[in-house]
Amino acid sequence: MKRVKITKGAEKFIKQRSYTIFSKWVRKLDNGIRNGEFVEVYRGKDLIGYGFYEEIGSIGVRLLAYISENPPDTLEEIIRWRVEKAYKIRMRGGERPEAGYRLAYADSDGMPGLIVDVFNDVSVVQSTSFGWDNNLHQLAESLVELGVSEKVFAKNDQRARKLYGLPVYKRYLAGDGDGSTLIREGDAIFIVDYMRGHKTGFYLDQRPARLRISNIDLSNGTVLDLFSYNAAFAVHSLLAGASEALIVEEDEPSTRIALENLRLNGHIVKGHVMRGRVEKVLDYLVGRKRMFDLVVVDPPAFIPSPEFVDKGRRAYKVLFKNAVKAVKPGGFIYASSCSYHLSPSELLDMVKVAAESLGYESRVVFENTPFNSNPYTRVVDQELRYLKGYLILLS
């Protein structure tokens, strides 16, 4: 097996058992190491672990195991060992496949560059790693043999793969099917279209917020669900007593999924799906003084990287200000951001300032923190704590 070494600059990260090591701290000890190759990782003369040598952006090595963890010593056994550890943690935490859950969350589960979500009888895999790409069939074999799921689907169509030079594709690694399944979340039933939908097919990280909204009193109220994707927020709101929901989504396949979810939950008449650019639709509604008892604002990341911070902050401020204008006095807004470079306090302040400009007082009813949105995340993995959201009563 070929070898690489980690230089002293990475001491802090080694000490806290980080699994992603930047290329500036990685040196090859052998020639001809291929991108994604399984290697031994040394610090000085000591073998400290095993991982994938990667040349992806600033990444140099994705460690799969430290020697201090007493791992197996072959790649096939390490993959199975990692899957089994993650699976036992989720089962002990009470996760159930019929509801859907995240099995593998990158570094937090010792599988950097990999996401695995389980929905009913299928595991949906997303990789941003040459090493994982080379070993997905071994991963699928472990998932099936350990009883995690009967089917495994690779949803490797994310934009980041193109940037890294990884091929874009979608296919079954184990089993087959039509690319969709059903899950139950609280009192709601949702179709998870993992073949054609966003990400792995369903946004599990917003589940705590959706379930909290399902418990507020929306009797005969109206709901505006912006950047809706699959109408999950709208469905829970209608189940909570709302009489009408306007669902706004730009993506055409997503509008079809939204309509199907409304039908599954018996609310096809109460839910109205509008396809269009959200900002323009919101401007139209505000201009005509349309107001709602609940407005949900869950946009894509306006700050995908540090160079977009200023532009992204301006976009968030305009969006949240207009969204507040669409909330009835005594109504609710759920404002969320998945931009790592926008802090929770910045998000909250944007809504507070917008509310104050309209004479509202803001009261936080619920906070969707990075830890309850992605449970089982290690405390040291700060870069994985991206999502934040607030359900706010405007009075």
**Residue 180 belongs to some domain of the structure:** no
Residues 266 and 305 in one domain: yes
Q: Are residues 348 and 364 in the same domain?
A: yes
Phi, psi of 229 (to 5 degrees): 65, -90
**Model-level pTM?**
0.95
Residues 84, 60 share a domain: no
Q: 304 and 215, same structural domain?
A: yes
List phi, psi (to 5°) of 150: -85, -30
- Judge if 53 and 165 occupy the same domain: no
Examine the domain organization and report whether 107 and 170 are in the same domain: yes
Which of residues 143, 174, 205 is at a domain's end?
A: 174
- Please check whether residue 181 lies inside any domain of the structure: no
Least Cα distance to 265 among 246, 237, 284 occurs for: 237
**Tokens encoding 189:** 């039933």
Q: Are 227 and 299 in contact (CB under 8 A)?
A: yes
The SS3 of residue 104 is: strand
Q: Which of 35, 69, 103 is the last residue of a domain?
A: 69
3-state secondary structure 189-234: EEEECCCCCCCCCCCHHHHHHHHHHCCCCCCCCEEEEECCCCCHHH
If one counts the domains in the chain, the total is: 3
Do 237 and 382 fall within a single domain? yes
Buried b (16+ CB within 10 A) or exposed e, 304-343: eeeeeeeebbebbbebbbbbbbbbeeebbbbbbbbbbbbe
Tell me the residue range of the domain where 49 lies.
3-69
Q: pLDDT 10s per residue in the chain (395 long)?
A: 999 999 999 999 999 999 999 999 999 999 999 999 999 999 999 999 999 999 988 999 999 999 999 999 899 999 999 999 999 999 999 999 999 999 999 999 999 999 999 999 999 999 999 999 999 999 999 999 999 999 999 999 998 898 889 999 999 999 999 999 999 999 999 999 999 999 999 999 999 999 999 999 999 999 999 999 999 999 999 999 999 999 999 999 999 999 999 999 999 999 999 999 999 999 999 999 999 999 999 999 999 999 999 999 999 999 999 999 999 999 999 999 999 999 999 999 999 999 999 999 999 999 999 999 999 999 999 999 999 999 999 99
pLDDT of residue 159: 86
Does residue 327 fall inside a structural domain? yes
Residues 352, 240, single domain; the answer is: yes
What CATH number does the domain containing 117 carry? Answer: 3.30.750.80
Q: Are residues 249 and 211 in the same domain?
A: yes
Residue 165, number of CB atoms within 10 A of its CB: 10
Rounded CA separation 305/341 (Å):
7
Looking up residue 192, the CATH number of its domain turns out to be 3.40.50.150
Choose one of 174, 206, 230: the last residue of a domain: 174
Q: Is the same domain home to 289 and 385?
A: yes
230 domain residue, yes or no: yes
Residues belonging to the active site: 338
